[in-house]
Structure 1
């Protein structure tokens, strides 16, 4: 109730200022002042002032709990552990992709020139030795061209 009264008084003062500005024939500025003056009463009638007060009180209470309660700190530690475990699982899940089924079950690859070793290295074995142009990985083809030019120049 007090909040609505305060907002109405603030809006009334703003509208009075807008009328004085309009009296001086500055209509564009008066319109902008009137628009700004109607905001407090509109926010109060819509209940948004009360909502903002409740949100700020809740955030303040949470911040006080963060400082004074060790259980809140423990909650952040648990959240950090959860994020770390998820990240580690994503890291190791990406390592198994791109391998053939027999390569996943078999141990480490044999000789570097075998097809199984080329599968595990992403098919870069043939392109490093200057093999066929079509066998290169599409993401590394630009770098391989630059590498070729640098080798020709002796750099």
Structure 2
């Protein structure tokens, strides 16, 4: 009964605000306010407010919501653990096979150590990587650019 009274008061206040807005020649806004203010009365008349108030004040409903929350929490926890490092049997078997060297295509996952312009053999993974080359002398920086410009006649 209290919820129905509150909804009716809210609707009456909203219709009053809509009337004032229409008096100020803002008919589109007044129509929108009137539409929003009729929603609470419509909910009361359809019985939705009574149904919601019954849900709010029943302890068994809150226990049901608590169980749903617990199920959701457990589900999300297991997903988080799985993403962090929880491994499945298949993953552990693949890790053991990789550590023994039984991989299907070991070279497929190894990055290429040569550039596309050279035809040298790829270096084995066990050798340490070379240090990066030192910067070219200042006069040699633009030699490639000069060659391109000469090629195009510029």
What range is the shorter-chain TM-score in? 0.3 to 0.5
TM-score under structure 1 length normalisation:
0.46
TM-score under structure 2 length normalisation:
0.46
More helix by share: 1
Name which one, 1 or 2, has greater alpha-carbon Rg.
2
> Relative CO higher for 1 or 2, CA cutoff 8 Å, sep ≥ 6?
2
